[in-house]
Amino acid sequence: MARRTSPEEPAPGASVAGGAERRSAVSLLFHSLRPEQWTKNLIVFAGLIFGLELFNPHAVGRTVAAFVVFCALSGAVYVFNDIMDREADRRHPLKARRPIASGALSPALAGGVALVLAAGALSVSFWLGARFGAVALAYLLLQSFYSGPLKHIVILDVLTIAIGFVLRAAAGAVVIDAPISHWLLVVTILLALFLALSKRRHELVLLADGATGHRPSLGEYSPYLLDQMISVVTASTLVSYIFYCISPETVQKFGTDMLGLTIPFPLYGILRYLYLVHRREGGGSPSHMLLNDRPLLVCVALWVLAVVVIVYLKPFGV
């Protein structure tokens, strides 16, 4: 059974502010970069796997560099977001524990470090290639707009999050000059939208009557409305993945028609996630749920293994 915790929970025995005050500025800065959220950037490896470059050392090296770039960019965005939202976060039962919101970390110091980090990451991204740099810049601009006005606009807030995942996936393909299926991009945006809607539902249920005080756009949602949206996106995600697996384009590209054998993994994973959202009050942090729910983690690992075996080893032929 999964243990219910929050990614913003302090270490056992630490208070909201007292524990943070005993930590160094470096530790607080690192925590503000939210390294536990960097698992979202693993999607850049999709281009490597589905681009048939997994055993190409040069491509692997460039993809790892792309992963590091996006970890730096997303970390900088998290810091900027925490600075802008620090007043609202102080009224949130979980986000109030963050270093900037709690007052343990200076916004000026955090902002300066984040600015340097973002500039350095962008420099490396353009060094890796103009196309990759353009995608990285587009991601940073999109996330900056999300931290500003977009997260306060109903529906556009979750769509912005989903597009951010698509840009990560596209960056992983661009950095190694690998083509990526349009079906795969469709699955990516739908799955990301599923996660974003589930997160909104968690926020709405957790904050209850105080939801609009934390973020006005939450007042435009309701658990029923979000459940309807989640249902539509869930079905669309699964159907899109099935079409991707059985499409003639996919069969021709990989030289096998057995990718459909991986369908049970996303099916179980999505249903397991819905179970955690509705029965375990999860969904606040997809990264935290992935890393802390063993069945979900095993499901994802087995899906990756199955895809690699089928695509690269072709044990069943065509």
Distance CA 240, CA 237 (A): 5
Burial 173-187 (b: 16+ CB within 10 A, else e): bbbbebebbebbbbb
Tens-of-pLDDT digits for all 318 residues of the chain? Answer: 444 444 444 433 344 444 444 468 888 888 888 888 888 899 999 999 999 999 999 999 999 999 999 999 999 998 888 888 777 777 767 777 888 888 788 888 888 988 999 999 999 999 999 999 999 999 999 998 888 888 888 889 889 989 999 999 999 999 999 887 788 889 999 999 999 898 888 877 776 655 555 566 677 788 888 889 999 999 999 999 999 999 998 999 898 889 999 999 999 999 999 998 888 766 567 777 878 889 999 999 999 999 999 999 876 655
Identify the pLDDT of residue 32. 82
Residue 10 lies in a domain: no
At a CB cut-off of 8 Å and minimum separation 6, what does 19 contact?
Answer: 10, 11, 13
Identify the pLDDT of residue 69. 96
CB of 129 closer than 8 Å to CB of 175: yes
SS3 per residue for 146-187: HHCCHHHCCCHHHHHHHHHHHHHHHHHHHCCCCCCCHHHHHH
Q: Which residue has the tokens 């729910």?
A: 293
Same domain for 92 and 163, yes or no, is yes
> Given 180, 206, 224, which residue is the final one in a domain?
180
Residue 187 lies in a domain: yes
> Given 161, 180, 199, which residue is the final one in a domain?
180
Residue 234 lies in a domain: yes
Same domain for 27 and 167, yes or no, is yes
Same domain for 198 and 277, yes or no, is yes
Say what the pTM is.
0.83
For the stretch 71-92, pLDDT in tens is 999 999 988 888 887 777 777 6
Same domain for 210 and 233, yes or no, is yes
- Write the CATH number for 56: 1.10.357.140
Same domain for 171 and 82, yes or no, is yes
Same domain for 304 and 249, yes or no, is yes
> Given 180, 207, 236, which residue is the final one in a domain?
180
Same domain for 174 and 194, yes or no, is no
For residue 244, what are the domain limits? Answer: 182-318
Same domain for 214 and 165, yes or no, is no
Identify the pLDDT of residue 61. 96
Distance CA 58, CA 41 (A): 19
Same domain for 163 and 204, yes or no, is no
Q: How many domains does the chain have?
A: 2
